[in-house]
Structure 1
Amino acid sequence: MDILECNQYLRSIELKREHIKSLSEYPYRLPAIKNLSNLKFHPKVTYIIGENGSGKSTILEAIAVAYGFNPEGGTINFNFSSMDTHSELYNHIKLIKGVRKPKDGFFLRAESFYNLATNVDELDREVPGLVNFYGGKSLHKQSHGESFFSVFINRFGGDGLYILDEPEAALSPSRQLSMLARIHELVKQRSQFIIVTHSPIIMAYPDATIYEIKDTLELVKYEDTEHYQIMKNFINNKDKMINILMG
């Protein structure tokens, strides 16, 4: 086994197919999950991309919950719940971990970030000063993009496993570039990222693994992803594409 692979926090996952009662029920009927056997992660950055409804966030959520993170986001120590909507997929995947354990970790997801911010405020009333780890003021007193970015910049400390679900949803293109730079800083501090994204900017980290969901999870090069191709074609042929779309 490669030393780098052994030392990474999460090496791969396996679907425990024998424990699933029916592959015709959600989420197991999704092709990406039905055809899943083993999914290997890069020691630095792994991306999972695909169309809406393809199952990428469902897979990411299962990874996070199986690892011990709160389904709605936060650290392993967060246990708030405002809605019980996560699937049971986490019960049917096996995590293959490396020999090293992360000192830090966070599951950051755009769709439940409001609930996370509320919980941070509640915890700060119980443990005054906690908000300092999130930029020094309530996340609710910042814009959505500012608060989301503040968590990423201030709370992520390195030596960690960081699982991000569509982080670009709250960020401008310039902030997405800043996030890419911050990811690199944290990778140099022995961090590992698993990211679901639609953003060609976010997914541009060099020497990363990219899985694109078609009927299966396929390894692809950055320039061959549908996201990159569509964005490139639009920018290079804006007027033509606008005329086609609105013609």
Structure 2
Amino acid sequence: MSLKSLTLLHEKATSYSKYPLSIPVIRQLHEMTFPTEVTFFVGENGSGKSTLLEAIADKAGFNTAGGGVNHMYDVHRSEASLGDYIRLSWLPKHRRGFFLRAESFYNFASYLDQNPNLLISFGGKSLLSESHGESFMRLFKEKFNGKALYLLDEPEAALSPQRQLSLLRLIKDSTEVDGAQYIIATHSPILLGYPGATIYNFDAAPLEAIAYEDTEHYSVTKYFVNHRERILHELFKEEEEEAGQ
């Protein structure tokens, strides 16, 4: 791995009452290490995982709207304000990689369509000419190679369960063969199952690493699969009782 650790620069903070320093897990963060080639950020919406991932992208020099160091379009580019408060430690330092934002992927694909020379490196075919999931997988296959840092924000948003399994295989190949490093914010219990990965739980402050089986994503999914009828019965019963009040 090249990215070794992240440090929050508390000495630069003047107030913890405003976003993003108001997020509990961010406010209590001092240092985060990346001891494995694949790291996952998990937690509820608003827990800070995407905010921190975006800050890493900013400090790495990637476009925070999505892309790498050479993709400097400004449409819906995020301010990445947390990037002003973190320091990244590299060994060795490099700027090769990519930041995928599922929510702004359309803007990135549109940018490529306007730059034919860049589109060639993505297979020469518009990413908008395929389904969302197909275009994601083509992006992964065309660009995720070589020693680089790949930051993925909820890549499962466009991927079927089978495609998520394909992504796991791609990640394994690129880390073992090319020395790639991944940091992924996700809600997917499938992706979280990647063997040997570090999983940081953003629902706990201070931030802590947890086992796959201890994630809420795993336990809720497992319980639902094993007790689907009981869960749905209780869930719908509660809704009916609330509607009758």
Matched, 1:194 2:183: yes
C-alpha distance in structure 2 between counterparts of 1:233 and 1:202, whole Å = 18
Matched, 1:217 2:207: yes
Matched, 1:106 2:95: no
Matched, 1:46 2:7: no
The residue number in structure 2 matching 1:142 is 130
1:194-215 CA-to-partner distances (Å, cap 9, x unmatched) read 0100001111111110001123
Does the residue aligned with 1:78 lie in a helix, a strand or coil? coil
Matches within 5 A, 1:145-224: 145-188=133-176, 189-214=178-203, 215-224=205-214
TM-score for both structures, normalised by structure 1: 0.92
The alignment yields a C-alpha RMSD, in angstroms, of 1.3
Aligned length: 235
Matches within 5 A, 1:71-110: 71-99=64-92, 101=94, 104-110=96-102
Does the residue aligned with 1:77 lie in a helix, a strand or coil? coil
The residue number in structure 2 matching 1:17 is 10
1:15-58 CA-to-partner distances (Å, cap 9, x unmatched) read 00110111111110000110110000133101010000111100
Does the residue aligned with 1:207 lie in a helix, a strand or coil? coil
Over the matched positions of the two proteins, sequence identity in percent amounts to 47
C-alpha distance in structure 2 between counterparts of 1:239 and 1:132, whole Å = 50
C-alpha distance in structure 2 between counterparts of 1:149 and 1:177, whole Å = 11
TM-score for both structures, normalised by structure 2: 0.92
For the 8 Å contact 1:108–1:164, the answer to whether it is kept is: yes
Matched, 1:28 2:31: no
CA shift for structure 1 position 90: 0.2
CA shift for structure 1 position 75: 1.1
For the 8 Å contact 1:11–1:97, the answer to whether it is kept is: yes
For the 8 Å contact 1:11–1:43, the answer to whether it is kept is: no
CA shift for structure 1 position 100: 5.4
Any stretches of 5+ residues in structure 1 without a counterpart? Answer: 1-7
Does the residue aligned with 1:14 lie in a helix, a strand or coil? strand
CA shift for structure 1 position 133: 2.5
